[in-house]
Amino acid sequence: MPEKKPATRYIYLTGGVVSSVGKGVTAAAIGRTLKQRGFNVAIQKLDPYINVDPGTMSPFQHGEVYVLDDGAETDLDLGHYERFIDIRLNQDCSMTSGQVYAEVIGRERHGDYLGGTIQVVPHITNEIKRRIERVSKSTGAEIVLVEVGGTVGDIESQPFIEAIRQMRGDLGRDHTAGIHVTWLPYIGATRELKTKPTQHSVRELRAMGITPDMIVARADHPVDAALVEKIALFCDVEKQAVIPMETASNVYEIPLLLEKSGVAEYLMKRLGLKARHKPNWSEWQAMLDAMHRKKPVVKVGLVGKYTELEDAYMSVREALRHAAISEGVELDLKFIAAVDLEKDKGWSDLHEVAGIVVPGGFGTRGIEGKLQAIHFARHHNIPCLGLCLGMQLMVVDFARELLGDEKANSTEFDPGTTMPVIDILPEQKDIHDLGGTMRLGLYPCRLVPGTQAAKAYSAKQVEERHRHRFELNNDYRAALEAKGMVFSGISPNNQLVEIAELKSHPFMLGTQFHPEFLSRPTRPHPLFKAFIASAKKSGKSRK
Ligand code: GLN
């Protein structure tokens, strides 16, 4: 008889008390502790908003849009999942209310429910369950962690909670576990942490038919044993299942903190699972040790548009951190607002940095400031990494000076420019909808031997994630090359410049793709590594 594939286990994470307490990082770190025991793990994020995906949302509101291999535009929590667990997820791992409603309404218009009244229960909840269950099929995961965005009690997330309640009944308690992540506020006057909001939040969850199996109690101060006991008693969970989680100065400490508190062992016992092997944390520990060592500081400036909200550049920041660890330097990252540079502000910061990153972006605000930063980096031999829009602006700056047309631009910012060195992708010309229509996801890129890019990757061809509508205009390729720009990464059909670099500069390299999405804490991205290595050198030699 063929061996029956063991049924998928589901671990649901809900949030209580307040949002932004690091539920995504907690889910990712728990996922990692399970992966360390030989399990194939996936995580899915359920976002209660009605947008179909975050692709059209302002990074000011939700932080960066994270892109997956298959081109799904997702919440930045997917970035935590991929980085912590070192996995590649797919579009099924990101679900929004918008997608669920669009699907159900589409079916209704098609006549699939003819005669029926479409309701939240069961039609919406059934669709949610279908979307949760398909994750294990498309990823092959044996354990699927499901993180519900927002906090319990939000009107919007109720269908998700109800679907989870039903799934727990359908699949049985031995196949499902619930973790409630809460917050213990600190009262300064009495110098104590309070558990009451956690108790209320668990009561609210219970009222919706879900009793959590585990409580992760987040706090900014140490959570002592008496508090753990109190939470266990009032919230009806076992003492070992109350996991105190004090805010860590470094998020990469969290998997080991959770390992020590026995989260994985408890969950495995609850779900009837046996570890395939002992967890081996030596590589992760070595990464943390390297982080803790005292090292020379390298100051890097990130010249961006959304600098008030650092989450808007989450993956870029993390990729820089990963590269700094492996290059043995301490990253001092300065966020510099591009618009400030236009108003003669922020230049003292820029003068101090050993490297400049110009990240991706859309829209005209701050473009001239970014161009000024790139111009400064080019003329002062400061290592500079341009990501997507950053690469496009490197080309614009270079063309303005070396091809002698001050009006050189991207048609995104000046549709009537006399020198459109960056232009819309031909396949994008007739697209009018903004959602999900860019050139998205993984595409191959051939590397030109002998270039900085080829050396950094030490490969002939790579695949990287994209999210753009504009590209380098091939009409200007020869002229730019003649002036010293090197196109070191090209699409296999030779139609699209994927990487541009400068010959006569220590490190000036721009990518049309987003390398930051593939960087991992123990496997930094080669281009970020090369950039930091170059900044480390120049930092020392700079006056
Ligand atoms: N706005 C540019 C484009 O659409 C760059 C996009 C980006 O940086 N992700 O091509």
Q: How far apart are CA 508 and CA 3, in angstroms?
A: 55
Over its C-alpha atoms, the chain yields an Rg (Å, rounded) of 25
Closest to 419 measured CA to CA, from 402, 432, 433, 436: 402
Question: Which residue in this structure is represented by tokens 């991205």?
Answer: 525
Catalytic residue from among 73, 505, 516, 525 = 516
Contact 360, 390 (CB under 8 A): yes
Helix, strand, coil percentages for the chain (3-state, nearest 5): 45, 20, 35
Q: What is the pLDDT of residue 5?
A: 52
Closest to 245 measured CA to CA, from 178, 179, 310, 292: 179
Taking the alpha carbons at both ends of the chain, their separation in whole angstroms is 74
Question: Which residue in this structure is represented by tokens 């997956």?
Answer: 68
Q: Measure 502 CA to ligand 1 centroid, in angstroms.
A: 21
Q: Whose CA is nearest to atom 8 of ligand 1?
A: 360
Catalytic residue from among 388, 445, 471, 525 = 388
Residue ranges of E strands in 115-163: 143-148
Q: Whose CA is nearest to atom 9 of ligand 1?
A: 360
Strand 485-490 and strand 497-502: the pairing is antiparallel
Strand 384-387 and strand 355-358: the pairing is parallel
Q: Which atom of ligand 1 is nearest to the CA of 425?
A: 10
Q: Measure 401 CA to ligand 1 centroid, in angstroms.
A: 22
Q: How many helices (H) and strands (E) does the chain have?
A: 19, 23
Closest to 22 measured CA to CA, from 316, 269, 222, 246: 246
Contact 270, 213 (CB under 8 A): yes
Residue ranges of E strands in 360-480: 384-387, 409-410, 420-424, 439-447, 461-468, 470-472
CA distances from 354 to 85, 339, 382 (A): 31, 21, 6
Q: Measure 7 CA to ligand 1 centroid, in angstroms.
A: 42
Q: Measure 480 CA to ligand 1 centroid, in angstroms.
A: 20
DSSP codes joined into one string, 13-43: EEE-SSS-SSHHHHHHHHHHHHHTTT--EEE
Strand 186-187 and strand 192-193: the pairing is antiparallel
Which protein residues touch ligand 1 with a CB less than 6 Å away? 360-362, 388-389, 412, 467-470
Among 396, 422, 469, the mutation site with the greatest number of ligand 1 atoms within 8 A of its Cβ is 469
Domains, the chain, ordered by start: 9-272 (3.40.50.300), 296-542 (3.40.50.880)
Question: Which residue in this structure is represented by tokens 């229509």?
Answer: 437
Q: What is the pLDDT of residue 2?
A: 55
Contact 529, 523 (CB under 8 A): no
Q: Whose CA is nearest to atom 1 of ligand 1?
A: 362
Q: What is the pLDDT of residue 1?
A: 53
CA distances from 198 to 62, 133, 172, 212, 218 (A): 25, 29, 26, 12, 10
Q: Measure 510 CA to ligand 1 centroid, in angstroms.
A: 13
| 514 flagged as catalytic | yes
Axis crossing angle, helix 314-327 with helix 526-541, rounded to the nearest 10: 70
Q: How far apart are CA 335 and CA 316, in angstroms?
A: 12
Among 56, 67, 385, 389, the mutation site with the greatest number of ligand 1 atoms within 8 A of its Cβ is 389
3-class state of residue 346 by DSSP:
coil
Whether a cis peptide bond, with omega within 30° of 0, leads into 122 is yes
Q: Whose CA is nearest to atom 6 of ligand 1?
A: 468
Q: Measure 421 CA to ligand 1 centroid, in angstroms.
A: 14
Average confidence (pLDDT) per 10 residues, the chain, 543 residues: 70 88 92 97 95 81 91 95 97 96 94 91 96 95 95 91 94 94 93 91 94 95 94 93 92 95 96 95 96 93 85 94 96 94 91 96 93 96 97 98 95 95 86 82 97 97 96 96 97 95 96 98 97 86 39
- At 350, list the tokens: 């820029």
| 259 flagged as catalytic | no
Q: What is the pLDDT of residue 4?
A: 56
Catalytic residue from among 180, 466, 468, 514 = 514
Among 388, 411, 427, the mutation site with the greatest number of ligand 1 atoms within 8 A of its Cβ is 388
Element (H, E) at 294: none
Closest to 426 measured CA to CA, from 441, 411, 414: 411
Q: What is the pLDDT of residue 541?
A: 39
Axis crossing angle, helix 158-171 with helix 97-110, rounded to the nearest 10: 80
What 444-450 contacts at long range (C-beta under 8 Å, 24+ apart), as own/partner pairs, is 444/491, 444/492, 445/489, 445/490, 445/491, 445/498, 445/499, 445/513, 446/489, 446/490, 446/491, 446/492, 447/488, 447/489, 447/499, 448/486, 448/487, 448/488, 448/489, 448/490
